[in-house]
Every structure is written in C-alpha cells, then in structure tokens.
Amino acid sequence: MTAEEILEGQVLLIDKPLKWSSFQAVNKLKYALIRHLGLSKKFKIGHAGTLDPLATGLLIVCTGKFTKRITEIQGQAKEYTGTFLLGATTPSYDLETEVDETFPINHIDETLIQNILPQFIGEIDQKPPVFSAIKKDGIRMYEHARAGTEMEMKSRKTTIHEFEITRIDIPEIDFRVVCSKGTYIRSLAHDFGKALNSGAHLTVLRRTKIGDYSVENAVSPDDFESNLSNK
C-alpha cells in the first residue's frame, strides 16, 4: 500500500477490539499511515458507522477520495451476532451500567422465545437507548444520561431483515440479526426481554457484516500497522 493509493482512496476493513472506541481505532490507523507512508496529518480518513466500545467487529475505514462513500456504506444492511442476558435490565441496555432491576425467568423456555421472534422481524418501532450518541440540544444523549438528566427518547422506524436465536442456555441466549441503518441492538435486547414478560440486556455484540463487506476479511488495528511496517 502506497501513500498515493491511500490518497486516491481505500476501503480498509478493521476488526475493532473490545473496549476501543471507533475514534481510537481510526486514530491508530491514521498515525500508522503517517508514520510508515509519510502522509501529512491533513489527509482524509473516517469510518462508516460507529461501534460502541463494548462491541467488537467490522469497522469500515475510508481514506482519501473514498471518504465520499461513507454515507453510502453506512446505509447498507448490517449483520450482528451476540448475547442477551435474561432476567435483568440496565439503564444503558448493556454492560456499560450496573443492573437496575431483576425479573423472573422461570417461565421462559425455547417455545416462548421462538414464539415472540416474529414480532421483531420486518419494520418495527424502536426507542434508542438514552445512553446513545444521538444529539439533543447539541449534546449527545449519553452525556445527558451520565449527568442524570431525565430525557424522553422518541421511537423511530427501523427494519429487521433477519433475526434468529442461535443458542439457548437460559439465562443466556445468542442471536444473529441483519438490520437496517439506525437499529440499536441494545434496544432490541431490552424490548426482547419485555416481550418475554421479563427483562434482558446485551452482554456481547459483534458486527460481522456491512453490506458485502465481512469481518472475515478484516484485520486488527495492531496487525494493520504490523503489515505496513513489514513492507
């Protein structure tokens, strides 16, 4: 990979590690490219779709002229796999915050789980988590939430193209979901728990695909830099 190729435009597939922000991952690539290819700090680089720090998986990074494709890539369907933990909720709908309420799970079995699946397939109404990057009054919602400010989230339309349960070991269930842009898997976990007359939150999330791009072809930020230094 040359400086000219980066400036002309590249789509880089990165496997974002756990607890890294998407910004950290892009920064790692940016300074690796500056260091090894002699690019100026002003070259264009950006990612097509944020992944939460507690999620892993496919982060698409565009450089140079291909940064113009970010909006197009972000609009493509996304595939995720992960785990819901039944019987408890958290304010963030995932592991970022502590459990705030617990619920019975003795009534939940595979039949009940499979019976509620259809209500989550197709176009659905979904409320984003209050711990989200959506802005209100110029401030991201998670900043309002962390400050203890009560905020009401409006529901929005989203589309679940495919949703399957791949493992049931109550209180854990694993899933695979293909969904439209703007879908919050944390909200899906929360709503799924409600539909079971219980509660649930997201404990594992991995993005495996965006459109035709797959995490199978991605490398970690550290491996990306190693590959540059070995050339």
Which sequence positions are flagged as catalytic? Answer: 52
User: ∠ CA(138), CA(140), CA(145), 5° rounding?
Assistant: 125
Neighbours of 35 (CB within 10 A): 12
Helix (H, G, I), strand (E, B) or coil at 129: coil
Question: Which of 191, 174, 173 has its CA nearest to residue 109?
Answer: 173
- Which sign, positive or negative, has the C-alpha torsion 206, 211, 217, 218? negative
Distance of alpha carbon 33 from alpha carbon 26, whole angstroms: 11
